[in-house]
Structure 1
Amino acid sequence: MNTARMNTAQKTLVFGLGSAALLLSGLVLAGGTEPMTGMMPANLKATAAMRDAAGEVRGAASFEQVGMGMRVTVTVSGLTPGMHGMHLHEFGRCTPGVDPAENKVVPFGGAGGHFDPGGSANHDSPTAGNKYGHGGDLPMLNVGADGVGKATFTTSKDSLTGKNGVLNRSLVVHADMDDYKSDPSGKSGARERCGVILRDNFTVRDYPLPGPQDFPEGVAYDARKGVIYTGSAANGNIYAVNANTGATILFSKGGAVGRSTALGLKVDSLGRVWVAGGATGAVSILSPDGAPVATLMTPPSPNPYLNDLTPTPDGSVYVTDSTRPVIWRVRDMPNPSKMTVEPWLDLGGTPINYGPGINLNGIVASPDGRYLLTVQLNTGELWRIDTGIKAIKKVMGGLTNGDGLLLDGQTLYVSRNADGMISKVNLSADYGSGTLVREEPLAGLRFPTTLVKVGSDVVVAQGQLDKLKGGIPETPFKLTRFKTF
């Protein structure tokens, strides 16, 4: 509990006996979020049907994006009169589950713990910034003698888009008053009402994956087979998903063929699957039936990280390296034993400056193969590279946490992993300049990584790579299909 900003007595005055003051319409609760950039969808709204433990709807909550804040309106019935703790929880599940604080199955335990986008691991007041307290710490619900509780407030701790996004998470009302200091939930008692926050008038289709530790990163599509491929950053498994039915099979098991991780994926004109191997420094090629064709190693050097790749019509496959300042190339040949990974472009002394963290990430090619577009995750810069003369031009900035790219005509979709959204960029005819026109959270994204066109739709992998080395991922892992916007 952070006490530097407000002591216990002050909190009791503001949030305890005086909690009704927080329920005034239009009240803004400062939470200290990072500013959102670009253009959000107009009229971004969501709704949650508030249910009791028997599944009966006992109220509703609405959520609306208002500038940098989110307006929340809640009405719930059938509760005991008095003050009730109210919080946003991590997962979009109003099912029974284990409450870690009690180590037993409780109603709505499936919603998980409090939403904590700042990683504070601390329960605090609704006015605490997210680096000090849970983003899910909300004002209490004041229930009258008739058993009905109502609240309307605006908070900048949470949003319907971006890293503080609450879509497909849960709103939970508890049995008791919140003391705004005791971890993990302010001694607010049992979970009595729960609702999943669903975006209004927006439809997606999810493809659930079977493994409990899949962490899907790459995604590719073979239109001839109607199959979507996705690879695991955790173990190198590659799944084949029927784009029509959603049926999923293990296409190629990781590890056994020297592939301990699978990042960027592409399908070539022969139906072969190319795999960027991350820290293994390898490019793997699989036949259309999943058999290993070749494993190509980059020259030994410290800290390899092959992240994404793209084929071009002349038989080249270009590969980004996120830690070594070089773009690699494989020249496709009829005899796989003669293929090698060569350093095609040394980025030293070019406008692309490598720094700490993940550098170049997603990469795509223009249809004629003349230009490559690649995004630098740690700087948010989008670059154009001429494959003929190797000239580099900065297209634009502002795409921080840019991961996978999808080029569709003169439109570029950029998956912004830690920001939980997809950006739409309109490109000039020569791909040399771009304008950010929209930023989409879809129906709630969990660290989206790469994208692929499937018919007139787009499929994105919800990788949850922020939970790869710690934390509890939301399962099942999934790919999500949506209409282009």
Structure 2
Amino acid sequence: MDRLKLLLGGALLLGTASAGGAGMPMMAPMPAAAPAGTALAATATLRDPQGAAQGSVTLRQLGTGVQVSVEARGLTPGQHGMHVHEFGRCTPGVDAATNTVVAFGGAGGHFDPGKTGNHASPGAPNAVGHGGDLPMLNVGADGVGRATFVTDKISLAGMDGVLNRSLVIHARPDDYKSDPSGLTGARERCGVLTRTNYAARDYPLPGAQDFPEGVAYDARRGVIYTGSAQSGTIYAVNAATGAVSKFSEGGALGRASALGLKVDAQGRLWIAGGAQGTVSVLSPDGAPVAVLETPRSPNAYINDLVPAPDGNVYVTDSARPVLYRVTPDLKLSAWLDLAGTPIRYGPGVNLNGVVATPDGRYLLAVQLNTGELWRIDLRSKAVRRVMGGLENGDGLLLDGRTLYVSRNRDGTVSKVMLGADYASGQVVAEEPVTGLRFPTTLSAIGGDLIVPQGQLDKLQGGTPETPFKLTRFPRF
């Protein structure tokens, strides 16, 4: 199984401030999130190329569709093409079709969740044409255009989500067939679609090719760790100030990739090494403690790990049907052959995120390609299916009997309420935050959650949104 298929499932100081210190810094307060049950909504101010406000957009989720209301001013009377573009940037940039710098070129091309490369009509399924292809805006003699419609081509959550993307109005009518934009001409109005009544904080990362995958928080030092799936570099981020430093250079001791991360009770950082089949351990100051190797195999894919209350660290392999265990003396061995359990490995990413229950009795692990959540008894090694419906489940965070599941391709975090014995569960909420881009793993910072926006779907094709970032938001 190649690295791309698995990833898609699934000390130089930068700046002047150090990341963390001996004591825990004061946390920056987080504004309150939207009240539970509030309908998803987004707004944008439409601006002309000179930056003047020339209208507005409102989006509201209505079941599986989105109600779109647009008012734009100062346009030529007649029909104007209107599209959702990929990036949330209303800045000048290069138009790929002409290779010239144009107004609002920073918004990129049309939003195309189906990766069709095909401009089509507003009624075409996203598997056939751009998801961002919207109805035209009719502008009256007074230069004002107004439109209200409902479309199921876009959403405010999930793979068709348009939060933190741009709505662009063009100079000419749309023929709904000519690539890449229906001969609609210049970009005349642009607005970034921003979620209303929701607070989140971003921690930008410095590298143009970071593709962050793992995240862990050391509360004693006030430090967030994240690792690059592309290079294996580990960053340390001051949770209060956002200052970033390189904690461990990629490639050190053969670590070419860093996936799941955890901090143990001794403050050591544990790193899942992906296709290299390794587990690395770093001291609190970044010095190497150990590099543990699983049996050599072309199919190795060490994806996540968790320190459990019994003192051991348990490790998932997304390609080989086995759970590994690292004992307190740093000895790694195969602990459970999954071939003899109800878990069935198939193509793609299998077991991924893993957590331990607070009572030390069970592990919970999500199988990304099937969407199944499994309970594994640490005493008897018995395996039980908890629930399904968690497709693209990547990272897990357990808070009592509340399980948060980062669902990468879906661009959301799911909240699951588990039964008293962790043998059953039900999704009770879905949270897209302010527009997550392939969220991978999860960690907790006090009452908040934090996820890397990994963009692993762009790792070997497509243009990632930079800077890469971690996003922190209130628990829901």
TM-score, normalisation: structure 1: 0.90
Match of 1:363, as an amino acid? V
Alignment of 1:53-452 (within 5 A): 53-333=49-329, 339-452=330-443
Shift of 1:41: 4.9
Judge conservation of contact 1:297–1:340 (CA < 8 Å) in 2.
no
Determine the structure 2 residue equivalent to 1:50.
46
C-alpha distance in 2 between matches for 1:358 and 1:104: 40
Determine the structure 1 residue equivalent to 2:19.
none
Judge conservation of contact 1:41–1:440 (CA < 8 Å) in 2.
no
Superposed CA offset, 1:190-245 (max 9, x none) = 11100000111011000010000000000000000000000000000000000000
Give secondary structure in 1 for the equivalent of 2:94.
strand
Match of 1:449, as an amino acid? T
Superposed CA offset, 1:291-335 (max 9, x none) = 1111110012330000000001222000000010000011122xx
C-alpha distance in 2 between matches for 1:430 and 1:225: 34
Determine the structure 2 residue equivalent to 1:15.
none
Give secondary structure in 2 for the equivalent of 1:450.
coil
Determine the structure 2 residue equivalent to 1:36.
none
Superposed CA offset, 1:432-468 (max 9, x none) = 1111100111111100000000011000111000000
Judge conservation of contact 1:95–1:108 (CA < 8 Å) in 2.
yes
Higher relative contact order (CA 8 A, sep 6+): 2
Determine the structure 1 residue equivalent to 2:445.
454
C-alpha distance in 2 between matches for 1:104 and 1:304: 44
Shift of 1:369: 2.0
Q: Does 1:465 find its partner at 2:461?
A: no
Shift of 1:370: 1.3
Superposed CA offset, 1:337-372 (max 9, x none) = xx3320000001211111111000000001232110
Match of 1:438, as an amino acid? A
Match of 2:453, as an amino acid? Q
Shift of 1:43: 1.3
C-alpha distance in 2 between matches for 1:341 and 1:322: 17
Match of 1:393, as an amino acid? R
Match of 2:208, as an amino acid? P
Superposed CA offset, 1:353-394 (max 9, x none) = 111110000000012321100000000000111101101111
C-alpha distance in 2 between matches for 1:247 and 1:256: 23
Superposed CA offset, 1:51-79 (max 9, x none) = 11111111001001111111101000001
Match of 1:360, as an amino acid? L
Match of 1:411, as an amino acid? T
C-alpha distance in 1 between matches for 2:296 and 2:45: 56
Gaps of 5+ in 1: 1-39, 334-338
Give secondary structure in 1 for the equivalent of 2:457.
helix
Determine the structure 1 residue equivalent to 2:17.
none
Match of 2:141, as an amino acid? A
Identity of aligned residues (%): 70
Match of 2:437, as an amino acid? R
C-alpha distance in 2 between matches for 1:133 and 1:296: 47
Judge conservation of contact 1:312–1:368 (CA < 8 Å) in 2.
no
Shift of 1:177: 1.0
C-alpha distance in 2 between matches for 1:268 and 1:245: 23
Match of 2:201, as an amino acid? R
C-alpha distance in 1 between matches for 2:367 and 2:110: 32
Match of 2:299, as an amino acid? N
C-alpha distance in 1 between matches for 2:312 and 2:222: 25
C-alpha distance in 1 between matches for 2:361 and 2:440: 25
Shift of 1:257: 2.2
C-alpha distance in 1 between matches for 2:375 and 2:151: 40
Determine the structure 1 residue equivalent to 2:15.
none
